[in-house]
Amino acid sequence: MSTWLGGRRWRRSTALAGGALALGIVASFLVSLHYTTVEQPWAYLSSPARSWQFGVGAVLALLGWTTGSRVARRDWPVPRALVGWSGLAAIGWATLTLTERTPYPGTAALIPTLGAAATIAAGIGTAGVGTGARYGPRPGLDAGLGPDRVLSTRPMRAVGRLSFTWYLWHWPAVVLAEAGYGSLGWPVKLAVVLGAGLPAWLTLRLVERPIRLSPALLGLPAHRLAVHSLVIGAVAMCLPVGAGLVSSLGAAREMRTATAGPVTPPPDRARDDVPHYPPECNVSERVVVSPSCVIGASRGAGHVVLLGDSHAGQWFGAVDGLAQRHGWATEVLVKGGCPLPAITIVYPRLGRPFTECDSWRDNTLRRLAAEPAPALVFMSVLDRYSPDERYVLAGWRPVLRRLAELHVPIVYLRDNPYPGTDVPSCISGALTDWSACRFGRPAAQWPDPLATAIATGSVAGVTMVDLTAVLCPPGPPDCPAVLGGTLLYRDYSHLTNTAVTALTPTLERALARSALLP
Protein backbone atom coordinates (compact mmCIF):
# COMPACT_ATOMS: atom_id res chain seq x y z
CA MET A 1 0.00 0.00 0.00
CA SER A 2 2.84 2.37 0.87
CA THR A 3 4.44 1.78 -2.54
CA TRP A 4 1.11 2.37 -4.29
CA LEU A 5 0.59 5.61 -2.41
CA GLY A 6 4.15 6.50 -3.38
CA GLY A 7 3.02 6.62 -7.03
CA ARG A 8 0.42 8.77 -8.76
CA ARG A 9 -1.98 9.06 -5.83
CA TRP A 10 0.58 10.20 -3.27
CA ARG A 11 -0.32 13.87 -3.29
CA ARG A 12 -4.06 13.17 -2.95
CA SER A 13 -3.63 10.61 -0.19
CA THR A 14 -1.27 12.13 2.37
CA ALA A 15 -3.89 12.07 5.12
CA LEU A 16 -4.69 8.42 4.43
CA ALA A 17 -1.00 7.54 4.25
CA GLY A 18 -0.27 9.35 7.50
CA GLY A 19 -3.14 7.62 9.29
CA ALA A 20 -2.13 4.20 8.00
CA LEU A 21 1.49 4.80 9.03
CA ALA A 22 0.44 5.93 12.50
CA LEU A 23 -1.66 2.80 13.04
CA GLY A 24 1.14 0.57 11.77
CA ILE A 25 3.74 2.28 13.95
CA VAL A 26 1.62 1.95 17.09
CA ALA A 27 0.73 -1.69 16.41
CA SER A 28 4.32 -2.68 15.67
CA PHE A 29 5.64 -0.84 18.72
CA LEU A 30 3.14 -2.62 20.98
CA VAL A 31 4.26 -5.96 19.51
CA SER A 32 7.87 -4.95 20.19
CA LEU A 33 7.11 -4.05 23.81
CA HIS A 34 5.32 -7.33 24.41
CA TYR A 35 7.92 -9.64 22.93
CA THR A 36 10.87 -7.76 24.43
CA THR A 37 9.48 -8.92 27.76
CA VAL A 38 8.52 -12.51 26.90
CA GLU A 39 10.92 -13.44 24.04
CA GLN A 40 13.60 -10.80 23.49
CA PRO A 41 15.44 -12.48 20.57
CA TRP A 42 12.20 -12.69 18.60
CA ALA A 43 11.49 -9.02 19.30
CA TYR A 44 14.96 -8.09 18.08
CA LEU A 45 14.95 -10.14 14.88
CA SER A 46 11.34 -10.17 13.69
CA SER A 47 9.95 -7.71 11.18
CA PRO A 48 6.58 -7.18 12.95
CA ALA A 49 8.38 -6.02 16.09
CA ARG A 50 10.80 -3.71 14.24
CA SER A 51 8.70 -2.30 11.39
CA TRP A 52 7.64 0.68 13.52
CA GLN A 53 11.16 2.01 13.00
CA PHE A 54 10.69 1.85 9.22
CA GLY A 55 7.37 3.57 9.81
CA VAL A 56 9.13 6.47 11.50
CA GLY A 57 11.33 6.75 8.42
CA ALA A 58 8.26 6.70 6.19
CA VAL A 59 6.73 9.55 8.20
CA LEU A 60 9.90 11.56 7.63
CA ALA A 61 9.70 10.86 3.90
CA LEU A 62 6.06 11.94 3.87
CA LEU A 63 6.95 15.06 5.84
CA GLY A 64 9.80 15.94 3.50
CA TRP A 65 7.68 15.42 0.39
CA THR A 66 4.73 17.48 1.57
CA THR A 67 6.37 20.25 3.63
CA GLY A 68 9.99 20.46 2.50
CA SER A 69 9.60 23.49 0.27
CA ARG A 70 7.45 25.38 2.81
CA VAL A 71 9.97 24.70 5.57
CA ALA A 72 12.75 25.87 3.28
CA ARG A 73 10.98 29.21 2.78
CA ARG A 74 10.57 29.80 6.54
CA ASP A 75 14.00 28.45 7.52
CA TRP A 76 13.82 28.59 11.40
CA PRO A 77 17.57 27.97 11.77
CA VAL A 78 17.83 28.03 15.58
CA PRO A 79 14.94 25.66 16.41
CA ARG A 80 16.07 23.28 13.69
CA ALA A 81 19.62 23.34 15.01
CA LEU A 82 18.40 22.51 18.52
CA VAL A 83 16.31 19.62 17.21
CA GLY A 84 19.19 18.31 15.10
CA TRP A 85 21.84 18.46 17.79
CA SER A 86 19.44 16.94 20.33
CA GLY A 87 18.83 14.06 17.96
CA LEU A 88 22.55 13.51 17.43
CA ALA A 89 23.10 13.65 21.20
CA ALA A 90 20.41 10.99 21.68
CA ILE A 91 22.19 8.71 19.21
CA GLY A 92 25.50 9.25 21.02
CA TRP A 93 23.90 8.65 24.41
CA ALA A 94 22.36 5.40 23.19
CA THR A 95 25.71 4.27 21.80
CA LEU A 96 27.43 4.80 25.14
CA THR A 97 24.74 3.57 27.54
CA LEU A 98 22.82 0.72 25.92
CA THR A 99 24.40 -2.64 26.78
CA GLU A 100 23.66 -6.33 26.29
CA ARG A 101 21.61 -6.18 29.50
CA THR A 102 19.31 -3.48 28.14
CA PRO A 103 15.87 -4.93 27.27
CA TYR A 104 16.11 -4.19 23.56
CA PRO A 105 14.34 -3.16 21.43
CA GLY A 106 11.50 -2.28 23.87
CA THR A 107 11.30 1.34 24.95
CA ALA A 108 15.10 1.62 24.71
CA ALA A 109 14.86 1.58 20.90
CA LEU A 110 12.97 4.88 21.03
CA ILE A 111 16.17 6.71 21.92
CA PRO A 112 18.31 6.02 18.82
CA THR A 113 15.27 5.83 16.52
CA LEU A 114 13.76 9.17 17.51
CA GLY A 115 17.24 10.64 17.74
CA ALA A 116 17.90 9.71 14.13
CA ALA A 117 14.45 11.00 13.16
CA ALA A 118 15.12 14.33 14.84
CA THR A 119 18.49 14.66 13.12
CA ILE A 120 16.92 14.02 9.71
CA ALA A 121 13.87 16.19 10.41
CA ALA A 122 16.12 19.11 11.31
CA GLY A 123 17.57 18.97 7.80
CA ILE A 124 14.23 18.90 5.97
CA GLY A 125 13.93 22.03 3.90
CA THR A 126 17.63 22.66 3.45
CA ALA A 127 18.66 22.41 -0.17
CA GLY A 128 18.28 18.86 -1.31
CA VAL A 129 16.51 17.53 1.79
CA GLY A 130 12.82 17.05 1.24
CA THR A 131 12.82 19.31 -1.83
CA GLY A 132 13.67 16.85 -4.58
CA ALA A 133 17.32 17.73 -5.13
CA ARG A 134 19.38 14.73 -6.04
CA TYR A 135 22.53 15.06 -4.03
CA GLY A 136 21.51 16.90 -0.85
CA PRO A 137 22.97 20.09 0.66
CA ARG A 138 26.04 21.58 -0.88
CA PRO A 139 28.87 21.30 1.64
CA GLY A 140 29.45 24.59 3.45
CA LEU A 141 26.80 26.49 1.44
CA ASP A 142 23.39 25.16 2.46
CA ALA A 143 24.32 23.83 5.91
CA GLY A 144 22.91 25.81 8.81
CA LEU A 145 23.63 25.84 12.51
CA GLY A 146 22.60 22.22 13.01
CA PRO A 147 24.42 18.93 12.54
CA ASP A 148 23.80 19.15 8.79
CA ARG A 149 26.88 21.38 8.71
CA VAL A 150 28.90 18.25 9.57
CA LEU A 151 26.72 15.56 8.05
CA SER A 152 26.56 17.27 4.65
CA THR A 153 30.32 17.15 4.13
CA ARG A 154 31.54 14.92 1.34
CA PRO A 155 33.20 12.26 3.58
CA MET A 156 30.12 11.92 5.76
CA ARG A 157 27.84 11.59 2.75
CA ALA A 158 30.13 8.90 1.33
CA VAL A 159 29.92 6.96 4.59
CA GLY A 160 26.14 7.38 4.55
CA ARG A 161 25.85 5.91 1.07
CA LEU A 162 27.96 2.93 2.11
CA SER A 163 26.62 2.47 5.64
CA PHE A 164 23.87 -0.09 5.11
CA THR A 165 25.92 -2.35 2.87
CA TRP A 166 28.81 -2.05 5.32
CA TYR A 167 26.46 -2.97 8.15
CA LEU A 168 25.45 -6.14 6.27
CA TRP A 169 29.07 -7.16 5.62
CA HIS A 170 30.66 -6.46 9.00
CA TRP A 171 28.91 -9.21 10.96
CA PRO A 172 29.86 -12.24 8.83
CA ALA A 173 33.39 -10.86 8.70
CA VAL A 174 33.63 -10.83 12.51
CA VAL A 175 31.98 -14.25 12.87
CA LEU A 176 34.29 -15.91 10.34
CA ALA A 177 37.37 -14.28 11.87
CA GLU A 178 36.49 -15.55 15.35
CA ALA A 179 35.70 -19.00 13.95
CA GLY A 180 39.19 -19.21 12.47
CA TYR A 181 41.28 -17.47 15.12
CA GLY A 182 39.31 -17.66 18.35
CA SER A 183 37.97 -14.78 20.41
CA LEU A 184 39.26 -11.42 19.15
CA GLY A 185 40.11 -8.31 21.11
CA TRP A 186 38.52 -4.97 20.28
CA PRO A 187 41.48 -3.65 18.23
CA VAL A 188 41.38 -6.73 15.99
CA LYS A 189 37.58 -6.59 15.74
CA LEU A 190 37.81 -2.94 14.72
CA ALA A 191 40.34 -3.82 12.02
CA VAL A 192 38.06 -6.60 10.74
CA VAL A 193 35.08 -4.23 10.64
CA LEU A 194 37.09 -1.63 8.76
CA GLY A 195 38.27 -4.32 6.36
CA ALA A 196 34.63 -5.23 5.68
CA GLY A 197 34.31 -1.81 4.08
CA LEU A 198 36.04 -3.10 0.93
CA PRO A 199 33.48 -5.83 0.04
CA ALA A 200 30.77 -3.37 1.06
CA TRP A 201 32.07 -0.80 -1.45
CA LEU A 202 32.36 -3.44 -4.18
CA THR A 203 28.81 -4.61 -3.50
CA LEU A 204 27.54 -1.03 -3.65
CA ARG A 205 29.29 -0.31 -6.95
CA LEU A 206 28.79 -3.64 -8.71
CA VAL A 207 25.45 -4.87 -7.38
CA GLU A 208 23.32 -2.34 -5.53
CA ARG A 209 23.71 0.71 -7.76
CA PRO A 210 23.38 -1.11 -11.11
CA ILE A 211 20.14 -2.72 -9.93
CA ARG A 212 18.68 0.34 -8.21
CA LEU A 213 19.45 2.69 -11.11
CA SER A 214 18.72 0.27 -13.96
CA PRO A 215 16.49 1.80 -16.68
CA ALA A 216 14.24 -1.27 -16.58
CA LEU A 217 13.47 -0.75 -12.90
CA LEU A 218 13.21 3.03 -13.04
CA GLY A 219 10.80 2.74 -15.96
CA LEU A 220 8.31 0.57 -14.09
CA PRO A 221 4.99 2.24 -13.21
CA ALA A 222 4.36 2.55 -9.49
CA HIS A 223 1.58 -0.05 -9.40
CA ARG A 224 3.70 -2.67 -11.20
CA LEU A 225 6.59 -2.00 -8.83
CA ALA A 226 4.20 -2.48 -5.91
CA VAL A 227 3.00 -5.83 -7.26
CA HIS A 228 6.56 -7.03 -7.84
CA SER A 229 7.54 -6.03 -4.30
CA LEU A 230 4.59 -7.87 -2.81
CA VAL A 231 5.35 -11.03 -4.80
CA ILE A 232 9.01 -11.00 -3.74
CA GLY A 233 7.99 -10.51 -0.12
CA ALA A 234 5.43 -13.31 -0.26
CA VAL A 235 7.91 -15.74 -1.81
CA ALA A 236 10.56 -14.85 0.77
CA MET A 237 8.11 -15.50 3.61
CA CYS A 238 7.31 -18.95 2.19
CA LEU A 239 10.92 -20.10 2.01
CA PRO A 240 11.96 -22.57 4.74
CA VAL A 241 14.56 -20.13 6.01
CA GLY A 242 14.43 -21.13 9.66
CA ALA A 243 15.01 -24.86 9.33
CA GLY A 244 17.59 -24.46 6.59
CA LEU A 245 19.52 -21.87 8.56
CA VAL A 246 19.60 -24.04 11.66
CA SER A 247 20.79 -27.05 9.64
CA SER A 248 23.45 -25.01 7.86
CA LEU A 249 24.76 -23.52 11.07
CA GLY A 250 24.89 -26.96 12.66
CA ALA A 251 26.96 -28.34 9.79
CA ALA A 252 29.26 -25.33 9.81
CA ARG A 253 29.85 -25.65 13.53
CA GLU A 254 30.78 -29.30 13.16
CA MET A 255 33.37 -28.39 10.52
CA ARG A 256 34.80 -25.62 12.67
CA THR A 257 35.31 -28.03 15.58
CA ALA A 258 37.15 -30.68 13.57
CA THR A 259 40.51 -29.98 15.26
CA ALA A 260 40.81 -31.24 18.84
CA GLY A 261 42.70 -29.14 21.34
CA PRO A 262 44.65 -30.20 24.44
CA VAL A 263 41.55 -30.25 26.64
CA THR A 264 39.07 -32.80 27.99
CA PRO A 265 36.73 -33.40 26.28
CA PRO A 266 38.37 -32.52 22.94
CA PRO A 267 36.48 -29.79 21.06
CA ASP A 268 35.41 -32.15 18.28
CA ARG A 269 33.66 -34.36 20.85
CA ALA A 270 32.39 -31.67 23.19
CA ARG A 271 28.91 -31.53 21.65
CA ASP A 272 28.42 -35.19 22.49
CA ASP A 273 29.53 -34.69 26.10
CA VAL A 274 25.94 -34.54 27.34
CA PRO A 275 24.13 -35.90 30.42
CA HIS A 276 23.93 -39.70 30.48
CA TYR A 277 20.19 -40.12 30.79
CA PRO A 278 17.85 -41.47 28.08
CA PRO A 279 17.20 -38.80 25.45
CA GLU A 280 13.42 -39.12 25.86
CA CYS A 281 13.80 -37.73 29.38
CA ASN A 282 14.38 -34.29 27.83
CA VAL A 283 11.00 -33.98 26.14
CA SER A 284 10.56 -32.23 22.80
CA GLU A 285 8.73 -28.97 22.28
CA ARG A 286 5.28 -30.46 21.55
CA VAL A 287 5.25 -32.94 24.45
CA VAL A 288 3.30 -31.78 27.50
CA VAL A 289 3.79 -34.80 29.82
CA SER A 290 7.20 -36.22 30.70
CA PRO A 291 7.58 -40.01 30.49
CA SER A 292 8.70 -42.00 33.49
CA CYS A 293 12.41 -41.24 33.74
CA VAL A 294 13.89 -42.63 36.94
CA ILE A 295 17.57 -43.56 36.89
CA GLY A 296 19.42 -45.55 39.51
CA ALA A 297 18.25 -47.14 42.76
CA SER A 298 14.66 -48.26 43.27
CA ARG A 299 12.06 -45.75 44.40
CA GLY A 300 11.82 -47.53 47.74
CA ALA A 301 15.30 -46.31 48.67
CA GLY A 302 14.25 -42.72 48.11
CA HIS A 303 14.81 -40.44 45.18
CA VAL A 304 15.71 -36.91 44.18
CA VAL A 305 14.14 -34.84 41.40
CA LEU A 306 15.96 -32.80 38.75
CA LEU A 307 13.50 -30.20 37.45
CA GLY A 308 13.68 -27.47 34.81
CA ASP A 309 14.91 -26.84 31.28
CA SER A 310 18.07 -28.05 29.54
CA HIS A 311 20.13 -25.93 31.93
CA ALA A 312 18.71 -28.09 34.71
CA GLY A 313 19.31 -31.25 32.69
CA GLN A 314 23.00 -30.40 32.29
CA TRP A 315 23.45 -30.88 36.07
CA PHE A 316 22.43 -34.55 35.90
CA GLY A 317 26.02 -35.81 36.17
CA ALA A 318 26.56 -34.11 39.54
CA VAL A 319 23.04 -34.67 40.90
CA ASP A 320 22.99 -38.35 39.96
CA GLY A 321 26.52 -38.87 41.25
CA LEU A 322 25.47 -37.44 44.60
CA ALA A 323 22.26 -39.51 44.56
CA GLN A 324 24.17 -42.73 43.95
CA ARG A 325 26.38 -42.08 46.98
CA HIS A 326 23.26 -41.87 49.15
CA GLY A 327 21.38 -44.75 47.56
CA TRP A 328 18.80 -42.56 45.85
CA ALA A 329 17.30 -42.72 42.40
CA THR A 330 17.19 -39.64 40.20
CA GLU A 331 13.95 -38.61 38.53
CA VAL A 332 14.53 -36.34 35.54
CA LEU A 333 11.76 -33.88 34.65
CA VAL A 334 13.28 -31.69 31.96
CA LYS A 335 11.86 -29.84 28.96
CA GLY A 336 14.36 -27.94 26.82
CA GLY A 337 13.63 -24.28 26.15
CA CYS A 338 10.86 -24.22 28.75
CA PRO A 339 11.28 -21.75 31.63
CA LEU A 340 10.37 -23.12 35.04
CA PRO A 341 8.92 -19.80 36.25
CA ALA A 342 5.36 -19.32 34.99
CA ILE A 343 6.17 -16.96 32.13
CA THR A 344 4.99 -17.46 28.58
CA ILE A 345 7.61 -17.18 25.86
CA VAL A 346 7.58 -17.48 22.08
CA TYR A 347 9.37 -20.64 20.99
CA PRO A 348 11.49 -19.81 17.90
CA ARG A 349 10.90 -23.09 16.05
CA LEU A 350 7.14 -22.86 16.57
CA GLY A 351 6.93 -19.13 15.93
CA ARG A 352 4.17 -18.68 18.52
CA PRO A 353 3.61 -18.62 22.29
CA PHE A 354 5.00 -21.79 23.83
CA THR A 355 1.72 -23.06 25.30
CA GLU A 356 3.10 -26.60 25.45
CA CYS A 357 5.65 -25.35 27.98
CA ASP A 358 2.91 -23.90 30.17
CA SER A 359 0.99 -27.20 30.02
CA TRP A 360 4.12 -29.24 30.75
CA ARG A 361 4.98 -27.07 33.75
CA ASP A 362 1.49 -27.47 35.22
CA ASN A 363 1.38 -31.22 34.54
CA THR A 364 4.82 -31.71 36.08
CA LEU A 365 3.95 -29.85 39.27
CA ARG A 366 0.72 -31.86 39.56
CA ARG A 367 2.73 -35.04 39.10
CA LEU A 368 5.16 -34.13 41.86
CA ALA A 369 2.26 -33.44 44.21
CA ALA A 370 0.76 -36.88 43.49
CA GLU A 371 3.99 -38.91 43.75
CA PRO A 372 5.81 -40.00 46.92
CA ALA A 373 7.80 -37.09 48.28
CA PRO A 374 11.45 -36.97 47.13
CA ALA A 375 14.39 -36.44 49.43
CA LEU A 376 15.42 -33.32 47.50
CA VAL A 377 14.22 -31.30 44.52
CA PHE A 378 16.99 -29.76 42.42
CA MET A 379 15.82 -27.06 40.03
CA SER A 380 17.67 -24.84 37.60
CA VAL A 381 16.85 -22.74 34.57
CA LEU A 382 18.45 -20.51 31.96
CA ASP A 383 18.47 -16.98 33.37
CA ARG A 384 17.89 -15.24 30.01
CA TYR A 385 14.29 -15.89 29.07
CA SER A 386 13.35 -12.29 29.86
CA PRO A 387 15.32 -9.22 30.95
CA ASP A 388 12.32 -8.04 33.01
CA GLU A 389 13.28 -9.11 36.53
CA ARG A 390 9.90 -8.27 38.07
CA TYR A 391 8.11 -10.32 35.42
CA VAL A 392 10.37 -13.32 36.03
CA LEU A 393 10.08 -13.09 39.82
CA ALA A 394 6.29 -12.88 39.54
CA GLY A 395 6.44 -16.06 37.44
CA TRP A 396 8.45 -17.84 40.11
CA ARG A 397 5.94 -17.19 42.92
CA PRO A 398 3.19 -19.66 41.90
CA VAL A 399 5.79 -22.33 41.09
CA LEU A 400 7.55 -21.94 44.44
CA ARG A 401 4.19 -22.00 46.21
CA ARG A 402 3.32 -25.36 44.65
CA LEU A 403 6.79 -26.77 45.34
CA ALA A 404 6.53 -25.66 48.98
CA GLU A 405 3.42 -27.83 49.31
CA LEU A 406 5.67 -30.88 48.82
CA HIS A 407 7.31 -30.12 52.20
CA VAL A 408 10.74 -31.21 50.98
CA PRO A 409 14.02 -29.29 50.65
CA ILE A 410 14.28 -27.31 47.41
CA VAL A 411 17.75 -26.65 45.97
CA TYR A 412 18.14 -23.92 43.36
CA LEU A 413 21.23 -24.42 41.20
CA ARG A 414 21.99 -20.95 39.93
CA ASP A 415 22.62 -20.81 36.20
CA ASN A 416 26.22 -21.02 35.06
CA PRO A 417 28.08 -18.11 33.41
CA TYR A 418 26.97 -17.64 29.81
CA PRO A 419 29.77 -17.47 27.20
CA GLY A 420 27.44 -16.36 24.41
CA THR A 421 29.78 -17.77 21.76
CA ASP A 422 30.40 -21.30 20.52
CA VAL A 423 33.17 -22.38 22.88
CA PRO A 424 34.30 -25.63 21.15
CA SER A 425 34.66 -23.72 17.88
CA CYS A 426 36.67 -21.03 19.62
CA ILE A 427 38.99 -23.54 21.28
CA SER A 428 39.52 -25.27 17.93
CA GLY A 429 40.42 -21.99 16.26
CA ALA A 430 42.64 -20.88 19.13
CA LEU A 431 44.39 -24.28 19.36
CA THR A 432 46.36 -24.25 22.62
CA ASP A 433 45.73 -20.59 23.39
CA TRP A 434 42.83 -21.14 25.77
CA SER A 435 42.93 -17.55 26.99
CA ALA A 436 41.71 -16.37 23.59
CA CYS A 437 38.32 -17.89 24.41
CA ARG A 438 37.74 -16.17 27.74
CA PHE A 439 34.57 -14.11 27.90
CA GLY A 440 33.63 -10.96 29.79
CA ARG A 441 32.38 -11.35 33.35
CA PRO A 442 29.67 -8.61 33.30
CA ALA A 443 27.89 -10.08 30.27
CA ALA A 444 28.31 -13.66 31.44
CA GLN A 445 25.68 -13.57 34.15
CA TRP A 446 22.44 -11.66 34.01
CA PRO A 447 20.75 -10.43 37.17
CA ASP A 448 18.83 -13.37 38.65
CA PRO A 449 15.77 -12.16 40.58
CA LEU A 450 15.24 -15.51 42.31
CA ALA A 451 18.88 -15.67 43.39
CA THR A 452 18.58 -12.14 44.78
CA ALA A 453 15.36 -13.01 46.61
CA ILE A 454 16.93 -16.13 48.15
CA ALA A 455 20.08 -14.24 49.17
CA THR A 456 18.04 -11.49 50.87
CA GLY A 457 15.86 -13.98 52.73
CA SER A 458 12.61 -13.00 51.01
CA VAL A 459 12.09 -16.56 49.70
CA ALA A 460 11.81 -19.26 52.36
CA GLY A 461 12.35 -22.97 51.95
CA VAL A 462 14.76 -22.72 49.03
CA THR A 463 18.53 -23.20 49.30
CA MET A 464 20.70 -21.75 46.55
CA VAL A 465 23.90 -23.36 45.35
CA ASP A 466 25.88 -20.83 43.33
CA LEU A 467 29.00 -22.25 41.66
CA THR A 468 29.83 -19.07 39.77
CA ALA A 469 33.00 -18.54 41.82
CA VAL A 470 34.19 -22.01 40.77
CA LEU A 471 33.38 -21.65 37.07
CA CYS A 472 34.53 -18.02 36.93
CA PRO A 473 37.14 -17.52 39.68
CA PRO A 474 37.16 -14.03 41.20
CA GLY A 475 39.91 -11.64 40.24
CA PRO A 476 40.23 -11.52 36.46
CA PRO A 477 37.72 -9.37 34.53
CA ASP A 478 36.67 -12.35 32.43
CA CYS A 479 35.71 -16.03 32.73
CA PRO A 480 37.62 -19.05 31.40
CA ALA A 481 36.40 -21.49 28.78
CA VAL A 482 38.89 -24.09 30.03
CA LEU A 483 39.72 -24.74 33.66
CA GLY A 484 42.41 -27.16 34.76
CA GLY A 485 42.47 -28.75 31.32
CA THR A 486 38.71 -29.33 31.35
CA LEU A 487 36.62 -27.78 28.58
CA LEU A 488 33.76 -26.22 30.51
CA TYR A 489 31.21 -25.62 27.75
CA ARG A 490 29.85 -27.83 24.97
CA ASP A 491 28.23 -24.97 23.04
CA TYR A 492 27.45 -21.32 23.70
CA SER A 493 25.82 -21.87 27.12
CA HIS A 494 25.67 -25.50 28.35
CA LEU A 495 28.33 -27.08 30.55
CA THR A 496 30.05 -30.26 29.40
CA ASN A 497 29.11 -33.39 31.32
CA THR A 498 32.81 -33.79 32.15
CA ALA A 499 32.84 -30.42 33.90
CA VAL A 500 29.56 -31.08 35.72
CA THR A 501 30.69 -34.50 36.95
CA ALA A 502 33.90 -32.97 38.27
CA LEU A 503 31.76 -30.56 40.31
CA THR A 504 29.99 -33.37 42.20
CA PRO A 505 32.17 -33.07 45.36
CA THR A 506 31.72 -29.29 45.33
CA LEU A 507 27.94 -29.68 45.13
CA GLU A 508 27.97 -32.26 47.92
CA ARG A 509 29.99 -29.99 50.21
CA ALA A 510 27.60 -27.10 49.56
CA LEU A 511 24.59 -29.26 50.47
CA ALA A 512 26.35 -30.62 53.55
CA ARG A 513 27.03 -27.08 54.78
CA SER A 514 23.30 -26.39 54.46
CA ALA A 515 22.46 -29.59 56.39
CA LEU A 516 20.50 -30.99 53.45
CA LEU A 517 22.24 -34.38 53.40
CA PRO A 518 21.77 -37.23 55.87
* Confidence check: pLDDT of 514 > 70: yes
Of the pLDDT bands very low, low, confident and very high (cuts 50, 70, 90), residue 212 is confident
Longest pairwise C-alpha distance within the chain: 89
Spatial separation of the C-alpha atoms in residues 130 and 258, rounded to whole Å: 55
If you average pLDDT over every residue of the chain, what do you get? Answer: 82
CATH of the domain at 285: 3.40.50.1110
pLDDT of res. 68: 53
pLDDT of res. 131: 44
In sequence order, what DSSP letters do the residues of 252-281 get, joined into one string?
HHHHHT-S--SSBS-GGGGGG---SS-GGG
**Which of 126, 152, 178 marks a domain boundary?**
152
8 part of a folded domain: yes
| Across 83-92, average pLDDT | 91
Say which residue, 126 or 409, is predicted with more confidence. Answer: 409
Of the pLDDT bands very low, low, confident and very high (cuts 50, 70, 90), residue 34 is confident
195 part of a folded domain: no
pLDDT of res. 125: 62
Of the pLDDT bands very low, low, confident and very high (cuts 50, 70, 90), residue 127 is very low
Contacts of 497 (CB under 8 A, 6+ apart): 273, 274, 275, 276, 314, 316, 317, 490
226 part of a folded domain: no
Q: Are residues 279 and 142 located together in one domain of the fold?
A: no
198 part of a folded domain: no
| Across 145-160, average pLDDT | 83
Q: Are residues 314 and 450 located together in one domain of the fold?
A: yes
pLDDT of res. 477: 87
Spatial separation of the C-alpha atoms in residues 477 and 462, rounded to whole Å: 30
Percent of the chain whose pLDDT exceeds 70: 79
Spatial separation of the C-alpha atoms in residues 276 and 403, rounded to whole Å: 26
231 part of a folded domain: no
- 304 in Cβ contact with 375 (< 8 Å): yes
**Which of 130, 152, 174 marks a domain boundary?**
152
pLDDT of res. 454: 95
Spatial separation of the C-alpha atoms in residues 487 and 265, rounded to whole Å: 6
**Which of 132, 152, 172 marks a domain boundary?**
152
First to last CA, the chain: 71
pLDDT of res. 347: 84
Say which residue, 20 or 169, is predicted with more confidence. Answer: 169
Task: Domain of residue 279: give its range.
Answer: 267-513
- Which amino acid appears at position 250 of this protein? G
3-state helix, strand, coil in the chain (%, to 5): 60, 10, 35
> What digits encode the pLDDT tens for the residues 463-473?
999 999 999 99
> What digits encode the pLDDT tens for the residues 410-419?
999 999 999 9
219 part of a folded domain: no
Mean pLDDT is lowest, of 20-34, 170-184, 263-277, for 170-184
Indicate whether this model's pTM tops 0.75: no
> What digits encode the pLDDT tens for the residues 401-444?
999 999 999 999 999 999 988 999 888 877 667 888 899 888 88
Spatial separation of the C-alpha atoms in residues 331 and 376, rounded to whole Å: 11
Q: How many domains does the chain have?
A: 2
> What digits encode the pLDDT tens for the residues 241-300?
333 333 333 333 333 333 334 789 998 899 999 999 988 898 988 999 999 999 987 656
87 part of a folded domain: yes
CA nearest to 10, candidates 53, 68, 61: 61
Strands (E), 244-340: 282-283, 294-296, 303-308, 329-335
* Confidence check: pLDDT of 133 > 80: no
251 part of a folded domain: no
- Give the dihedral sign, CA 118/122/125/127: negative
